Each structure stands twice: as structure tokens, then as C-alpha cells.
């Protein structure tokens, strides 16, 4: 792991007496692509704005490269922010938009021209110097906004849902573009989104937030395959999220039916939550299933079918490359390794609070 570049220490922030962030702690490492992921109102954009200097925390400190920058204004920080609405100046050419920050810093004309050419080449828009923002597509405008940030040579690039206004295909193209830029520039990216697929595609580290708390932090693989609570399991990807009983080590019951698992240490006859991803649900013949049910819905989604199965009133969702006709009685089996057991929160505060392990 590279050295720690940013530390948010015990950050709290309220608006009109309503807490938005509550004792948040977060460490971001050099050259890392960190995504703050969560629903609207979870505190992710406020966290980004505090990092950028656009908001001041009520409590806590922002440490950058070993120095406290909590009260340092945005223009004095070695960070640049790219907003969702691009914030380009419509009356300026592309070259003037990119050069804006450099001119404020009184850089030489030669330096500015070199930087404009470098940035446009980096984002694949050579020859656009004299164009106006209004003549560009949404994706092109987003690239210019990134180019404008890059020329200031920030140590950290902050991106607040920058792809939210783009159509699906363009958004996917820009995801790969951002990954390329991050690898080529060697700078730290802190990215805010509510789009789970974006987070899984681009991130080195995902920080899942809810109600001002960090719910879980880890690699995309860990967040997806080993969610620490029901909120993370439900928010990241599709899931079958059920209440269950942890009978003993390596054995649970779902609606009274026994399923083998690999988890240990949850006690005996303990109420728990479990998650089973749809791609891990195995459809078989009724005699070979751990439980049986009736297919209620079949939806073709391109790479797979989404199949809904009613098992005594509980819906199971399966992703399969083979169709099962509506009305068919089927069996369901699950590999023990694909059942993730999680503690059931004892209160609303515990459900919202950060999980420390």
C-alpha cells in the first residue's frame, strides 16, 4: 500500500441542526482511486466538498500530506474539483477555459500553450482550442472540464458525479477514460457517485456511506462478495437478502429449511441476515433442490435471464443463461461458499453507524 495522502479525522457536519456527517474517519492513499458511494443524502458530496475546501467541518480535521488544511481555502489546496455540470465558461473558447487557472497563477504564455496542448492531447481532443463549449457534446465538455483540472497539476482530483448527465454508452466510455487518465497521470482520484456499477468498474477502494456514516470500506471484490451488513449487500448489486437463523457453525435455516454455509462464530440459534447473489442461485430439478418453488417471472437481460421464483411466499431471484418457463416447478440449491452471513443490527443507530472490525 502506498503512503497515506489524505486523512479525515473525526469529521462532523450539520446543516440547520441536522447531522450530515457524524465522526467520520477516512484515510486515502497516494495514487488511489477512491469512490464514495451511497444514496442521496448519505454525506458523500459533503465529504468531497470538505476535502476541496468548499465546506468547513463543525468538528474534526482534514490532513493533507501531513499538514492540517482544514481552514485552507480551495485555491490554496493541491486539489482540483470536477463538477457534475462541468462549470465551463460559455463565453470562453476551450483554450481559454483550460487556461483560466494558469492565467490567475500568472504563468507565461509559452507555459500555458504547452499545457493546453498537453491536456487536450491527454483527453483526446486535439484541435479543439478555438471551439466554444456550446458546440461540444456532453462527453466532450466533460473531457474539457477534466483537462482544465489536470493542467493545474493537482495531487488529487475530486469528481462529484461527473458522468451523471451522460447517456449510458458515453458514461461507460468515460469510465474507461478516467481509469486511463488516473493510471497515466499517477494522481489520486476521489470520486462521488450513487451508481454501483461505476464504483465497481473504476475503484481501487469503495467507501459505502449511509446517513453520514461509513458502512464498509474495501476493494470492489470485497464489498461485493463479503458485505458486512444488509445495507451494503442490498445497495451493491442485485441480491437475495433474507432473514435467517444461524443454527450453529456452518449451518443456517432460511424459512425453516437447513442450508450449509462456511461461516462460524455467530453463536447458536442466532437471528442473522444472509445474502445470496442471483448468479449464485442454482436452478435444478425439484428432487435435487434444497427448496422448491414456482417460476413467476422470466426477463431476458442480454447476457442472462433474470428468473423470479416463489418459494412458499418468499421471492428468490436467479440469473441464469438458461430460461425456466413461468409456472414451472423448480428446485433451488446454493453452494455453501456463496452464502454470506451477516450480523443483524440491534437498533437503527447500529444499522446506520460505521462498522469497525
Which cell is 152 given?
493545474
CA distance 255 to 235: 23
Domain range summary for the chain, segments of one domain joined by +: 4-225, 238-345
Judge contact between 157 and 83, C-beta under 8 A. no
Picking from 231, 160, 226, 220, the residue whose alpha carbon sits closest to that of residue 193 is: 160
- Residue entry with cell 435444478: 284
What is the predicted pLDDT for the residue at 244? 96
What is the predicted pLDDT for the residue at 354? 38
The superfamily (CATH) of domain 238-345 is Nucleic acid-binding proteins (2.40.50.140)
What is the predicted pLDDT for the residue at 347? 46
CA distance 3 to 24: 20
pLDDT in tens, 11-56: 999 999 899 999 999 999 999 999 999 998 899 999 999 999 999 9
pLDDT in tens, 288-324: 999 999 999 999 999 999 999 999 999 999 999 999 9
What is the predicted pLDDT for the residue at 356? 38
Distances (CA, A) of 335 to 119, 292, 338, 339: 50, 16, 5, 7
CA distance 203 to 33: 5
Pairing of strands 188-193, 79-82: unpaired
When the pLDDT of each residue in the chain is averaged and rounded to a whole number, the result is: 90
What is the predicted pLDDT for the residue at 186? 85
Show Cβ contacts of residue 324 under 8 Å, excluding neighbours closer than 6 positions.
283, 295, 298, 305, 307, 330
Judge contact between 194 and 171, C-beta under 8 A. no
Listed as ranges, residues in the chain with pLDDT below 50 are 347, 349-350, 353-357
Which cell is 162 given?
461527473
pLDDT in tens, 106-121: 888 999 999 999 889 8
What is the predicted pLDDT for the residue at 346? 64
* CATH of segment(s) 4-225: 3.40.50.300
What is the predicted pLDDT for the residue at 355? 40
**Among residues of the chain, what percentage have pLDDT more than 70?**
95
What is the predicted pLDDT for the residue at 149? 84
CA distance 226 to 265: 16
What is the predicted pLDDT for the residue at 1? 62
Amino acid at each position: 500500500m502506498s503512503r497515506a495522502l489524505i486523512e479525515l479525522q473525526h469529521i462532523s457536519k450539520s446543516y440547520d441542526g441536522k447531522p450530515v456527517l457524524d465522526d467520520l474517519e477516512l484515510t486515502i492513499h497516494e495514487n488511489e482511486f477512491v469512490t464514495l458511494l451511497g444514496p442521496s443524502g448519505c454525506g458523500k458530496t459533503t465529504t468531497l466538498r470538505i476535502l476541496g475546501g468548499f465546506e468547513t467541518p463543525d468538528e474534526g480535521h482534514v490532513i493533507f500530506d501531513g499538514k492540517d488544511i482544514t481552514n485552507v481555502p480551495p485555491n490554496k489546496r493541491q486539489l482540483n474539483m470536477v463538477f457534475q455540470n462541468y462549470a465551463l465558461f460559455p463565453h470562453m473558447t476551450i483554450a481559454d477555459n483550460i487556461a483560466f487557472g494558469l492565467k490567475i497563477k500568472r504563468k507565461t504564455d509559452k507555459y500555458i500553450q504547452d499545457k493546453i496542448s498537453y491536456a487536450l492531447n491527454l483527453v483526446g481532443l486535439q484541435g479543439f482550442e478555438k471551439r466554444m463549449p456550446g458546440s461540444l457534446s456532453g462527453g466532450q465538455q466533460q473531457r474539457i472540464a477534466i483537462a482544465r483540472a489536470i493542467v493545474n497539476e493537482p495531487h488529487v482530483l475530486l469528481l462529484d458525479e461527473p458522468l451523471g448527465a451522460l447517456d449510458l454508452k458515453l458514461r461507460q466510455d468515460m469510465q474507461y477514460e478516467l481509469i486511463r487518465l488516473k493510471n497515466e497521470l499517477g494522481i489520486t482520484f476521489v470520486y462521488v457517485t450513487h451508481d454501483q456499477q461505476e464504483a465497481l468498474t473504476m475503484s481501487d477502494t469503495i467507501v459505502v456511506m449511509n446517513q453520514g456514516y461509513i458502512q464498509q470500506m474495501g476493494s470492489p471484490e470485497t464489498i461485493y462478495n463479503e458485505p458486512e451488513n444488509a445495507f451494503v449487500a442490498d445497495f451493491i448489486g442485485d441480491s437475495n437478502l433474507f432473514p435467517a437463523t444461524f443454527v450453529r457453525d456452518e449451518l443456517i435455516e432460511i424459512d425453516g429449511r437447513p442450508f450449509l454455509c462456511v461461516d462460524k462464530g455467530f453463536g447458536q440459534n442466532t437471528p442473522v441476515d444472509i445474502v445470496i447473489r442471483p448468479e449464485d442461485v442454482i436452478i435444478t430439478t425439484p428432487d435435487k433442490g434444497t427448496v422448491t418453488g414456482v417460476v413467476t417471472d422470466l426477463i431476458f437481460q442480454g447476457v442472462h435471464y433474470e428468473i423470479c421464483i416463489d418459494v412458499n411466499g418468499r421471492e428468490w431471484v436467479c440469473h441464469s443463461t438458461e430460461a425456466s418457463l413461468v409456472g414451472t416447478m423448480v428446485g433451488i440449491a446454493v453452494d455453501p461458499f456463496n452464502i454470506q452471513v451477516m450480523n443483524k443490527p440491534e437498533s437503527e443507530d447500529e444499522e446506520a453507524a460505521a462498522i469497525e472490525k
